[in-house]
Amino acid sequence: MTPTRLATARAAAATAALAAAVALAPAGPVAADTADPYAICPEVYYYVVPEGSPGLDSIAGLILDDAERAAEIYELNAGRTQADGNALGEDRAVLAQWRLVVPFDAGGENVYRGSDPLCVVAVENALAVGEEPPSPPPPPPAYTPPPEDGASPTAQGEVVDLDPDGARPSIDPRLLAGGAVGLVLLTLLTLFWEPVLRGITWPFRAAARARAARAPKRRPTRPGVAARRRRAATEAVAADPDARRRAAAAHAELLASPADVPARPVALLTSDAGVSAVVPAGATPPMSSWRVVDTTTWRYGSGRSTAPVHFTTAAMTAVREPVRGVLVCLGLEEGGDALVHLDLTRTRGLLAVGGDAGVAADTVRVVGDGLHAAGVRVRVLRPDRPLHSLVADTIPVVSAPDPIQGTVPEPGAFEAVVVPRPLSAADEHVLLDLPPNLLVVAMGESRAARRQWWARDDGTVDTGALGLEVVVRHPERREP
């Protein structure tokens, strides 16, 4: 036999002996050696923390594109011991070479897919010391993405327990009741705000109306101040002796000028600026040198107007006889520098002056002196005599002439009676039966007065319907 054939025969015999030995060996130990000890480790996505990692929030921003999902990474790794023996705590601090389980949608650098690295380390440590591999740790909770259409679990047919612990809401029921009441009140106020606000403001509006209706209280004026004012008015009258003539001329021209509605002035004001007339509202200015200032005031100027006069107007007014005016200079206009000349040409009946007794007495004397200076017959009643001693018994006149729009009295029939004392109750029946051509000037108040004036302690007189307030001058001293 050759050497080659001998070597081949020896190799075949050795192979047959090895096969027989393997066939005779027990089957149990061989099966145990072939089992994989790493099969117990689940497959997960994990992230290997590099050197210098800033923190869990930054890791979530890198691999999940959302730093707020760091809480998911914390839930997946809380309580899991790393290879160095440390674990992720509440401070969320991480160390290099840690293996952090991450959600399945993570991606990027240092993100891997494989067996749970912590489980692999535990198996390796057990095999190194010859112990059985530990039981596999519970798998990390799987990430459940939110529904794409935004539907809630209840809308998908699931039952959600909104109060699992049976706890009551923390809101106080009294607070809820108060809010409901406030909402109801706000609704009522929105629907009925006008009557509600009217009812709320009614007491204030009523108080304001009561204050407006109450006569304003005047502070008493010191006698020295009133005396100085009246002295200044007296000096102004004495300094302009030509004022009476100018007022009389303007008055005569105003009455003689043709107009659609003849003007019957109630007063004329004279000053350095000119002469003005106070007329009733509705009068027509004449086609002459009078200029309208406002509704009841006309200003007198020099020259004649070239405006044409209607023939009917001229024919109706030219035939009227001129009337001699009765003007009484009462004093100085309150708040101005003009002298006030009252037109008493058509005034009949009772002219009463009430208020402050001293100023009222001086006003009665000033009016009496003015009537006497204008050529009117004036009789003065003694303080101890009754009024009927100077007034004859007459038949009552049903319609007395109006002081402004009344008829023109007959020439020479105008008389005046001055009563320098307050009126008494016994004078009332006489005042109701006054003759139509008589003017009574008296102190006090009376329901029969055609004109009622009011005197104040500051030296002024309110002329009532005339609308003028005048600082009364002192009466002229009578020679003994």
Write down the mean pLDDT value for the chain.
Answer: 77
Please tell me the distance from the alpha carbon of residue 162 to that of residue 413, in angstroms, as a whole number. 110
Query: Average pLDDT of 226-234?
Result: 90
For residues 405 and 414, what is the distance between their CA atoms, to the nearest angstrom? Answer: 17
Distance (Å, rounded) from C-alpha 362 to C-alpha 381? Answer: 15
Contact between residue 63 and residue 111 where contact means Cβ atoms under 8 Å apart:
yes
Q: By mean pLDDT, which of 178-192, 351-365, 391-405 is the weakest?
A: 391-405
Residue 257: per-residue pLDDT: 74
Range of weakest confidence among 130-134, 386-390, 443-447: 130-134
- Confidence tier at 261 by pLDDT (50, 70, 90): low
Does residue 134 have a pLDDT over 60? Answer: yes
For residue 26, pLDDT over 50 is answered with no
pLDDT confidence tier of residue 73, bands split at 50, 70 and 90: confident
Tokens of 386: 């009754």
pLDDT of amino acid 68: 87
Task: Tell whether the model's pLDDT for residue 390 goes beyond 50.
Answer: yes
Interval 459-479 mean pLDDT? 87
> 141 pLDDT band (50/70/90 cuts)?
low
Condensed to tens digits (0 to 9), the pLDDT of residues 429-438 reads 888 888 888 8
Residue 415's contacts (CB-CB under 8 Å, 6 or more residues apart) are: 376, 377, 378, 379, 437, 438, 439
CA atoms within 13 A on the CB side of 277: 31
pLDDT for position 478: 67
CA distance 236 to 332: 7
Under DSSP, is residue 366 helix (H, G, I), strand (E, B) or coil?
helix
Residue ranges of the alpha helices (H) in 297-436? 311-318, 357-373, 428-431
The length of the chain is: 480
Residue 358 binned pLDDT confidence (cut-offs 50, 70, 90) = very high
Q: Which of 396, 460, 469 is nearest to 434 (CA)?
A: 396
Cα 331 to its chain centre, rounded Å, is 47
Q: Which stretch of 64-73, 134-143, 185-194 has the lowest confidence by average pLDDT?
A: 134-143
111-115 sheet: strands from edge to edge: 99-102, 43-48, 111-115
Model confidence at 313: pLDDT above 50: no
| pLDDT tens-digit series, residues 143-195 | 555 555 554 544 444 545 545 555 555 788 888 899 999 999 889 888 888 88
Dihedral Cα 291, 294, 298, 302, nearest 10 deg:
-30
> What phi-psi label fits residue 354: left (phi over 0), alpha (psi between -120 and 50 degrees) or beta?
beta
Distance (Å, whole) CA 263 – CA 266: 9
User: What does the pLDDT average to over 209-231?
Assistant: 78
Across residues 371-375, what is the average pLDDT? 89
- The model's confidence at residue 15, banded by pLDDT at 50, 70 and 90, is very low
| pLDDT at residue 167 in the model | 54
Task: Between 403 and 231, name the one with better pLDDT.
Answer: 231
Lowest mean pLDDT among 109-118, 155-164, 259-268, 451-460: 155-164
Q: How confident is the model at residue 453 (pLDDT cuts 50, 70, 90)?
A: very high
Q: Does the structure show a pLDDT above 60 at 11?
A: no
User: Could you give the C-alpha distances from 479 to 220, 276, 476, in angstroms and in order?
Assistant: 34, 34, 9
pLDDT value at residue 332 = 93
Q: Which residues pair with 451 in a beta bridge?
A: 351
Task: Report helix, strand or coil for 456.
Answer: coil
Query: Does the reported pTM lie above 0.95?
Result: no
H and E: helices and strands count for the chain: 12, 16
pLDDT for the residue numbered 316:
42
**How far is the C-alpha of 427 from the C-alpha of 254, rounded, in Å?**
38
- Per-residue pLDDT band for 220 (boundaries 50, 70, 90) equals low
pLDDT band at 338 (very low <50, low <70, confident <90, very high): very high
What are the pLDDT digits (tens) for 36-62?
A: 777 778 888 888 888 888 788 888 888
3-class SS shares of the chain: helix, strand, coil, % to 5: 35, 20, 45
Residue 305 has pLDDT above 90, yes or no: no
Q: Residue 242's pLDDT band (boundaries 50, 70, 90)?
A: very high
Tell me: pLDDT of 8 over 80.
no
Classify residue 23 by its DSSP letter: H
Both tokens assigned to 225: 């101040």
The residues spanned by each domain of the chain are 37-128, 227-327+335-341, 343-472
Exposed e or buried b per residue across 79-105, where buried means at least 16 C-beta atoms within 10 angstroms of its C-beta: ebebeeeeebeeebebeeebbbbbbee
Residues 242-254 as b/e (b if ≥16 CB within 10 A, e otherwise) read ebbebbbebbeeb
* List of residues 6+ apart from 107 with CB closer than 8 A: 63
Pairing of strands 339-343, 267-271: antiparallel
| Lowest mean pLDDT segment, chosen from 69-73, 138-142, 249-253 | 138-142
pLDDT confidence of residue 452: 93
Residue 259's pLDDT band, with cuts at 50, 70 and 90, is low
Asked whether the predicted pLDDT for residue 17 surpasses 60, the reply is no
Is 449 in contact with 348 (CB distance < 8 Å)?
Answer: no
Work out the pLDDT band at 454, boundaries 50, 70, 90: very high
Exposed/middle/buried for 459, CB within 10 Å: 0-12, 13-18, 19+?
Answer: buried
Sequence letter at residue 125: N
